[in-house]
Chain A
Amino acid sequence: MGFTIAYLSLIILIPLAALFIKAAGLGWEEWKAILVSPRIIAATRLTFGLSAAAAGVSVVTGLLVTWVLVRYEFPGKRMLDAMVDLPFALPTAVAGITLTAIYGKEGWIGSHFAAAATWVKETWHPAGWIGEQINTWANFGAAYSSLGIFIALTFIGFPFVVRTLQPVMEDLGKEIEEAAATLGAGRWTVFRRVILPLLVPALITGFTLAFARAIGEYGSVIFISGNLPMKTEILPLLIVSQLEQFKYGAAAVIASGMLIISFVLLFIINLLQRRLDWQNR
């Protein structure tokens, strides 16, 4: 017991305390100045917005993949099931350069994508934010745009949804579906009114896990994002750039804010998990 607590304190608690103390050492005015700077606001919006969008798409694709893996038999299923964990096991730097190679301008998919964007640009001449995005896509494929970040965050997040959903779906049992069927419900009604509501807690947990991971993600994003301040700069990258300019205080403040959000998310995940366990008793 002594060893566990001592080790935990040394490795986790003291360093985190150091960070918070550093951040707290700054005055209120400094905090405010850091937090309301347009670059931080832009990065925060980008990070949270894209993380939520990626987690949302992960929920949809995760539901589809889990459904197929749990319910159907087809050749290669075991291998695909094992592959779902790839984003967990593949180092983020490798994921980052690979996704860029695929979805960037010269990329296998990105090149077609860039061509399509060029066509859209020349045909419709879209203006405003959309025009700007289309322009970026035409020039760089999915790289250097929020689309690239979104792709990386979805890659990172979607295994969380599958692995949260899978055990719940396996334990559902056929009986409730049969009961609904004998009562006259069609297949779609059974899914919508019986199966889906039972999956909602797991879907929310999966979403939150994917979201929490996406907010802090660094390695798989920075290669594809291009890291343009105000445009494609995510919060973790902003911390690094503050650090490189030796602005330790600012880095500590941003990190503290992110940490607090992570703790809240962790807390929510634990609550949801408990609820999930309880529901599946």
Chain B
Amino acid sequence: MSISIHSINKTFGSYKALEDVSLEVPNGSLTALLGPSGSGKTTLLRIVAGLEFADDGPGKILFHGENVVGIPAGKRSVGFVFQHYALFRHMSVADNIAFGLTVLPRSKRPAKSEIRDRVHELLGLVKLDGLDKRRPHELSGGQRQRVALARALAIRPKVLLLDEPFGALDAKVRKDLRRWLRVFHDEINLTTLFVTHDQEEALELADQVVVMRNARIEQVGTPQEIYDRPRSPFVYEFLGNVNKLTEPNGVQRYIRPHEIEVLFAAEYDPTTDRMAKIQHLFSAGPVATLGVRLDDGKFVDVELSRKQLEDLGLSVGDEVAIRSNPPE
């Protein structure tokens, strides 16, 4: 089911959380709302869920063409996964997952055996077979995350909303779970909107990335588009390390560390290159990072492969020429 958001405004007192936000989330897509804290991304997600309400006005939220603005959260058929999971700590894993089914009005509530089957099906889906009797505090962070996901999916939601789904996990689990979620999404093919402040996460996971800043949407596009053709200096800087470099012709431009080429000082071409001195050098891992200081005193980060570094035979204190090679 597609989600269309039309000119939504939200103010908290005098603070503007969202300003004229419009967005299309295509059916079946995995869309990331990316931005720094305070950019309004979580507020937007909560408004879509019905946990928060947009200011009065012409703003609309359409699920597959139907306006849901006046519909309470519990009737919108959204699955919401909270940043800290919000599991019911007095219930077992199975009872947590079954909750949404057991609170249905009697006429719509499935039989007990049916609920049990659905819980086991979901436990299998999120790879938690056999943990149905555990309490939330007996699970690891990653497991809790998946219980929360299963609980949200139990009600067969039409859209899935995730608030910082990996925010509370440590680095290793985070990466594994990220990959797993991508595969999982492709399996269940449910329109999914998630909030993150981590650009790597957004770029790796999403079909569509929405960059937000100061209550507005800055840019919408595929990860490739956003990374390669950022529409503003903010998007450029937010999506990864970036250098602000003045080229010999006087033009200022943003350039990513891996887009800079390092040459021997002897190859210096004054029309395209700048002279620089190597200040420090990190070469643990497949990618080496050089910190160089330009002749005007500015620092620039450069990334190159270990192989390149070895071929050049550079060390701290060497003079080099650097040339920017933007992708075309």
Contact = CB atoms under 8 A, between A and B. Distances in A.
**Chains A and B touch (C-beta atoms under 8 A apart):** yes
Given A183-B100, A183-B155, A185-B103, A178 B82 contact: yes
A164 B154 CA distance: 36
Interface in B199-213: none
B50 interface: yes
B89 A279 contact: yes
A181 B73 CA distance: 6
Interface string A186-198: 1001000110011
Contact of A182 (B73, B87, B89, B137): B73
Interface in A232-281: 279, 281
Contacts of B183: none
The secondary structure that dominates the A interface is helix
B75 interface: yes
B158 interface: no
Contact of B51 (A178, A186, A194): A178
A176 interface: yes
B162 interface: no
Nearest to A197: B90
Interface residues of B, number: 28
18 contacts: A176-B88, A178-B80, A179-B82, A180-B99, A180-B103, A182-B50, A182-B74, A182-B79, A182-B80, A182-B152, A183-B99, A183-B155, A184-B103, A185-B74, A185-B100, A186-B103, A189-B103, A281-B137
Interface residues of A, number: 19
B86 A176 contact: yes
A29 interface: no
B88 to A, nearest CB: 6
Nearest to B52: A178
Nearest to A196: B90
A175 interface: yes
A210 to B, nearest CB: 23
A184 B79 CA distance: 10
B49 A182 contact: yes
B95 to A, nearest CB: 10
A181 B51 contact: yes
B78 interface: yes
B86 A175 contact: yes
B10 interface: no
B277 interface: no
A183 B50 CA distance: 12
